[in-house]
Structure 1
Amino acid sequence: MDWFAPDRTEGQHPVYVAAEKDTLRQMFTTWLAEYGITVLVVRGFASQSYAEVVHRRTTRHGRA
């Protein structure tokens, strides 16, 4: 029971941080993990196929 905790973000709008470079992902993840904030790497381009990948990854959480 010591490790169990309810979802701190239940009922809230999800927050994501986008990093342009993958090298920044680990730094942001280290800082934000305790707050349950997801870090996305957008790699500086906005193709439709990559936009779909980001959309799939963000909708995995089952939240709007």
Structure 2
Amino acid sequence: MHSIFEFCTLGASLRLIFRKLFTALTEIVVELIHHSDFDSDTREVLATNVSNLSKAMLHVEVT
């Protein structure tokens, strides 16, 4: 039988892993945008939007 502490610790670990994975994926997408064929203004807007969306999603907590 697992204790509630073990489940809370597992949940916290999974959240941390998710946050790190999501942050890494966001950085990859932003780099891909910067190396795309779009003009420089479009690249900057897309990269900023992806970054802002990522930050907003990371602030959402699953309850």
TM-score normalised by length of structure 1: 0.38
Which has a greater percent of strand?
Answer: 1
TM-score normalised by length of structure 2: 0.39
